[in-house]
Chains A and B, each alone.
Chain A
């Protein structure tokens, strides 16, 4: 206890960009992303792997980044919430979360979006029950999950079109 930790070299591809850093052996992946790389979209909610706020995709698999050390992912491809929007356009899931008010404080949202992204890759047209199972590792304290389930379902059906974005709402009858 208290001895200076040994260091490791970690080389990963994060959101399409190759990065190399020397990190402490005990550094968690979530701290590597947030502190070392400054990708603060990935959040920490529980430290015990229960809440999923830190969910990212590592080599195609959904991972809670507080449950894995940075040196363990050496050589991997990592996707975080920062990868979802492309060229200034939100992903269909992000758009659907917005349209369906599937976020309030927004703290669980990055992890929830990564879980939902992973779910739809595995199962492009999930039932509501499958959606609920797919996000059961992601805790949300604000929404009661109601609109999250709806947003994922509608995104899977290609229903998120941007029609209810703030500006477009101007002409819409409610």
Chain B
């Protein structure tokens, strides 16, 4: 139980915020009474099925819809050319030229650019008929050479995805902070790595994408019932394309079966369905199937770092890093190239690196378009930083714990300004690390590691992952990509209302996918309004008709505890103010005499003078004759509040500014056993220490830590998307793509500390994405297990075959690392290849 002081009376009071309360949502979900997108529908709907390219890159020669249209039960077929003719413009481009020349329409036009690219969509009277009909849409293709490697795609000789752009490079920018050339010249050691590769994977929500879309010819309203997680972003992108103003959309979400950022990417399908509905004159329902999801729904960003140079002093102080990064966006730019700046929320990682230069290139390739995926863009960069920390420790013979502690931002440094102007708000990384080491029994495992020695066929490895979960974006960072963009700041909306019989209702602009918003919003509102969380009804999901939204509304990027609950606090306080005012009038008391408890407003110290919420609602809604108009105009019992975090527009030339409001941290420690004979990696012990400031519901926070950890371990050992040279995905279903099961994920032990954020209304920090900590920790543990003289672990994905190869690589093979050491300012040329 948390004891805090009442915001009005200053009295000590028990609060609901801070309690590990089981969730309100569970009641319906454990009974199978959730309302997921495929559970719903609209009257008269048809069923949509997309016709998709089997080729990675091909010209569309012809499309013959007649065989499909002649089938019983087929309403219509919409092709790419037809859809384009119904549109006013291609989708809005985030990138400036040349990226903006890489246009996308609701369906492919002229050519297909990845396996699964949609060329047409069928509407029929059943799912089965639609699927059969889609097979009868005859498309003739002329295959083209494909490019499926992000670095190769940037080469001017590579096959072009967009002839009109003249290049596959979407955007390039140099992020240059401090003086990395000086640092490289003056460091005692320079550690050089040829290449690090962060692999392509997806957290594959168990519920695939889906939408029921109706284009109402009478009103022009486009209703979208979907599991899309950032509704007004979709509206802003597709509205100008299909010619629909914002006030003619009605986006609705209900329960969402996981999203992890990936449900930001399917707005082209929503646009295509809107046009299909417009053409057919009836609603179009589409439920994605798993292989369609794996091929087309969005993958996480794949990034290759090359020419990495790290200046290090003799005492282990790391001065900075210089690298070139190639990020592979896949075939279309669905949220990219925002990732090209979003990583810079965490330029120095957890460390006091002063001199950083990253030459960043975003490319397109003949692969599935990328979409934000839990840890989006930051985890790729943080993984590189963590690999560097461990490589430096190993090559210079310093304990990885000591290198981290020496270079961490220290507790007394907060608020800490990074080289690019981001403000790390609070934290205690050294303490987090100590707790994690203890929880993972590292001392015991080190002893066991020594005991095992060589010859046992098994090796133990211990690895650390220190990471940041930056939350509450300043969308002004998009202008570092394109100064013309009309975006900055952030915001979220809540409406707190007393309904006609005095019921407390809260509407949110968010789209929860398991994060428990109904519970935590209830906790926060209950504290302010003097009721219990059970007395607060929080509407499920997003409904545009509620008017609880701004352009940024949704659930993504680790921000609900700040933006969402900040809005709930503001709305509930506004409502409380109205309740107090009405009660003071009704009870002939002063406002500062009124207290709220148990759904009743009463005069403090005189319990006889009280009025229940239903009485106050009655005064306003159904019994207001004779009341002062001034009172009624101030007290409509319907309080809307927009929480806006404090941000400035970043400097787009220097590429500096405060890009996110909060920095939750996680420090993970992983212990693995590697089987020398098979390369198999087994996790023996795993600890995760989380610091997200004040926790509103520790049960929910810990659940998020578990989830992010599970997905990270899965990605590091089991899950990878790979394409062959022609652009065929090798893992298009859960048979090939090994989603981690209960036998793959170990027991995860959690610890936590709370370093409240000084910048947020409640001391909380956004959390949930987790910063990819398990990828860092597992790679470090495998590296440790490989032992001295082993190759550098250069890939974020280490399935058994790759580990086996590293264990048995021929002696003398380059290890992928070089150290140049100097003494007294002269180059001694000590290298270790």
Contacts and interface: CB of A to CB of B under 8 A. Distances in A.
Interface of A: 1-2, 4-5, 24, 26, 34, 39-48, 50-51, 53, 80-82, 84-85, 90, 94, 97-99, 101, 103-110, 113, 128, 131-133, 135-149, 164-167, 169-170, 172-174
Given A47-B291, A173-B1, A143 B206 contact: no
Contacts of B258: 104-105, 107, 141-142
Contact of B734 (A24, A50, A82, A97): A50
Nearest to A165: B22
B283 to A, nearest CB: 16
A129 to B, nearest CB: 9
Contacts of B23: 98, 101, 166
Contact of A44 (B31, B38, B256, B742): B38
A106 B742 contact: no
Given A46-B290, A107-B258, A110-B32, A101 B735 contact: no
29 contacts: A1-B132, A2-B132, A45-B206, A50-B735, A51-B206, A53-B206, A80-B32, A90-B27, A98-B22, A103-B514, A104-B703, A105-B207, A105-B255, A105-B256, A105-B257, A105-B259, A107-B34, A107-B36, A113-B30, A143-B707, A144-B706, A144-B710, A144-B713, A146-B745, A147-B703, A166-B23, A167-B532, A167-B534, A169-B22
Interface of B: 1, 18-27, 29-34, 36, 38-39, 71-72, 128, 132-133, 135-136, 203-208, 255-260, 289-291, 513-516, 519, 532-534, 698-700, 702-703, 706-707, 709-711, 713, 733-735, 739-743, 745, 747-748
A94 B30 contact: yes
Contacts of B747: 128, 146, 149
A109 B36 CA distance: 13
A99 B206 contact: no
Most chain A CB within a 10 A radius of its CB, from B203, B205, B206, B747: B206
B751 to A, nearest CB: 14
Contact of B711 (A39, A113, A141): A141
Given A166-B519, A172-B1, 6 more contacts: A40-B36, A43-B257, A90-B30, A103-B29, A169-B21, A174-B20
Contacts of B135: 1-2
A141 B707 contact: yes
A141 B204 contact: yes
Contacts of B29: 103, 106, 109
B291 A143 contact: no
Contacts of A80: 32
B24 A26 contact: no
A81 B36 CA distance: 15
A162 to B, nearest CB: 10
Contacts of A144: 706-707, 709-711, 713, 745, 748
Given A46-B290, A144-B748, A98 B27 contact: yes
A84 B27 CA distance: 12
Contacts of A108: 206
Given A48-B735, A169-B22, A139 B741 contact: yes
Nearest to B68: A2
B742 A148 contact: yes
User: What is the predominant secondary structure among interface residues of chain A facing chain B?
Assistant: loop
Most chain B CB within a 10 A radius of its CB, from A2, A108, A138: A2
Most chain B CB within a 10 A radius of its CB, from A44, A97, A128: A44
A111 to B, nearest CB: 9
Nearest to A106: B29
A113 B207 CA distance: 17
B739 A139 contact: yes
A174 B255 contact: no
Given A47-B290, A47-B291, A107-B258, A141 B26 contact: no
Nearest to A171: B1
B484 to A, nearest CB: 37
Contact of B289 (A39, A47, A51, A82): A47
B206 A140 contact: yes
B739 A141 contact: yes
B742 A51 contact: no
Nearest to B205: A141
B32 A81 contact: yes
A41 B447 CA distance: 50
Contacts of A44: 38
B710 A4 contact: no
Contacts of A81: 30-32
A6 B249 CA distance: 41
Contact of B30 (A103, A140, A170): A103
The list of the 10 closest CB pairs from A to B, nearest first, reads A41-B32, A144-B710, A107-B257, A104-B514, A106-B29, A105-B514, A50-B734, A81-B32, A144-B706, A40-B39
A166 B739 contact: no
A46 B731 CA distance: 13
Given A90-B31, A106-B34, A135-B742, A169 B19 contact: yes
A13 B513 CA distance: 34
Contact of A143 (B21, B31, B706, B733): B706
A169 B23 CA distance: 11
Nearest to A131: B742
A132 B743 contact: yes
A45 B22 contact: no
A46 B732 CA distance: 11
Contacts of B20: 174
A40 B208 CA distance: 15
Contacts of A41: 31-34
Given A47-B290, A97-B26, A144-B710, A105 B741 contact: no
Contacts of B208: 45
Nearest to B259: A105
A105 B532 CA distance: 24
Contacts of B128: 5, 24, 26
B706 A107 contact: no
A103 B26 contact: yes
B707 A142 contact: yes
Contacts of A164: 22
B74 to A, nearest CB: 10
A2 B206 contact: no
Contacts of B132: 1-2
Contacts of B206: 43, 45-46, 51, 53, 105, 107-108, 139-141
Given A1-B135, A174-B20, A143 B256 contact: no
Contacts of B514: 103-106, 142
B287 to A, nearest CB: 8
Contacts of A136: 741-743
A132 B39 CA distance: 29
A101 to B, nearest CB: 5
A46 B204 CA distance: 10
Nearest to B749: A146
Nearest to B533: A166
A4 to B, nearest CB: 7
B748 A99 contact: no
Contacts of B21: 166, 169
A104 B22 CA distance: 11
A43 B29 CA distance: 12
Contacts of A110: 32
Contacts of B733: 46-48, 50
A145 B710 contact: yes
Nearest to B203: A141
Contacts of B515: 104
Given A106-B25, A142-B707, A101 B700 contact: yes
Nearest to B36: A107
A107 B227 CA distance: 12
Nearest to A90: B30
A41 B36 CA distance: 9
B734 A166 contact: no
A106 B27 CA distance: 10
